[in-house]
A and B are shown apart, each in its own frame.
Chain A
């Protein structure tokens, strides 16, 4: 499964009501570390069936940024059963991204 682009219109369906855990990547096109991390997220999304990964463009999604109090990117937020369970700020290696989803 590829990384899914999510907006405020489908955030509830794709993230909050998802039956599997979701990793939300808050990012922007001008953010170098975000772009650097994207190929790792693509790879992780393609190669597992246990969770999904979605991307939120913070320049387009003010409401989601406000609601989830994102104040620094890259920002990865883990959702399980509609609730935030973990969060990571900044560029991290692929192994650490995978580890976020493993407990």
Chain B
């Protein structure tokens, strides 16, 4: 039995591993894909204390080496559930099960899909959830961004430097994102705003060719021909597998304060899948430190 199992090897999970190992607790980190998490998609991190510039990959690799060097064990299997009982937690993965005295959920979040037919099939064939990853493939082409938050605005700005034309499709008549970004976009000749509208259909042959856009106010439908559709409609926390054990809020985030305690004794939460106002690298790391410290305290007291 391990002292602590951490589910998820992003910045929160790996920071928790460092703190738990420095408290001399045995640690297993379970990760579904590979270490790094969402930060891997960031080419240049510019807001982490004492690192003016570092790529998301380099940051992850350094963090992984640090945690591993301190003796954290990593196994790459997806955790699908937790059984709680008899003073221990059993984490079930797709292949095995592992026991621990305490568990830290650091599963992060995934891009929210539009939920349209063929959407999944068209990923890599015109549909993308990451403008900085895939924007280069749309040089001098026509693209649309869906969404109204800062990510959508930043994606549209980034793409307007590359693409011939960028449509920004938003379901409301004003943006949640920063006004500065909105005015910068408004000043670009190749950006067209489509307000009060939803993408209601993906039109494709072997790849995406156009989208059907429906105006919510007057019900009018228009077809926008394009090469790429960038979806930036938010993220969903990866907490589904643990919903029977810990209390989630309406949006699916694990309810917990700054102490990272969940509604279940001995299960803690760290990072983007926790209820919080600022989801950043530095707050993920802070959560990792807090969750590990609280988990260590829990083990000592039980």
A interface residues with partner B (beta carbon < 8 Å): 28, 30-33, 35-37, 40, 58-59, 65, 69-73, 75, 87, 89-95
11 A-B pairs besides A32-B43, A93-B32 with CB distance below 8 A are A30-B43, A32-B39, A32-B40, A40-B34, A59-B136, A69-B206, A71-B126, A71-B228, A72-B128, A72-B133, A90-B123
* B299 at interface by CB-CB < 8 Å: no
- Please state if A72 and B34 are interface contacts (CB–CB under 8 Å): no
Beta-carbon contact of B137 and A32 below 8 Å: no
Task: Say whether B36 faces chain A, with CB atoms less than 8 Å apart.
Answer: yes
User: With A72-B128, A90-B123 given, is the CB distance from A32 to B36 under 8 Å?
Assistant: yes
A69-B33 in contact (CB<8A): no
Whose C-beta in chain A lies nearest to the C-beta of B41? A32
With both chains docked as a complex, state the minimum distance between the C-beta of B129 and any C-beta of chain A, in angstroms: 9
Q: Which 5 A-B pairs have the closest CB atoms?
A: A89-B124, A32-B40, A32-B57, A72-B124, A35-B57
Q: Give the complex CA separation of A93 and B95 in angstroms.
A: 14
Q: Does B48 contact A (CB under 8 A)?
A: no
Number of B residues, CB within 8 Å of A: 28
Which residues does chain B contribute within 8 Å of A32, judged by CB atoms? 36, 39-43, 55-57, 60
22 A-B residue contacts at CB 8 Å? A30-B43, A30-B55, A32-B43, A32-B55, A32-B56, A32-B57, A33-B36, A33-B41, A35-B57, A36-B60, A58-B136, A59-B136, A65-B137, A69-B125, A71-B126, A72-B124, A72-B128, A73-B134, A89-B124, A90-B124, A93-B34, A93-B76
CA distance A58 to B136 in the complex (A): 10
Binary A-proximity of B22-63 (CB < 8 A = 1, otherwise 0): 000000000011111001111100000000000111001000
Q: Report if A69-B207 is in contact (Cβ < 8 Å); known contacts: A32-B57, A36-B34, A92-B33.
A: yes
Do residues A91 and B40 form an inter-chain contact, with CB atoms below 8 A?
Answer: yes
The verdict on A72 contacting B33 (CB below 8 Å), with A32-B40, A32-B56, A87-B124 known, is no
Contacts of A92 in B (CB 8 A): 33
Kindly list chain A residues whose C-beta atoms are within 8 Å of the C-beta of B43.
Answer: 30, 32
Within residues 264 to 284 of chain B, which ones have a CB less than 8 A from any CB in chain A? none
Cα-based distance from A58 to B139 in the complex (angstroms): 13
CB contact list, B127-147 vs A, under 8 A: 128, 133-134, 136-138
**A83 CB to nearest chain B CB (Å):** 16
Question: A65 contacts which chain B residues (CB < 8 A)?
Answer: 137
Q: Which of B41, B55, B60, B137 has the most CB of A within 10 A?
A: B137
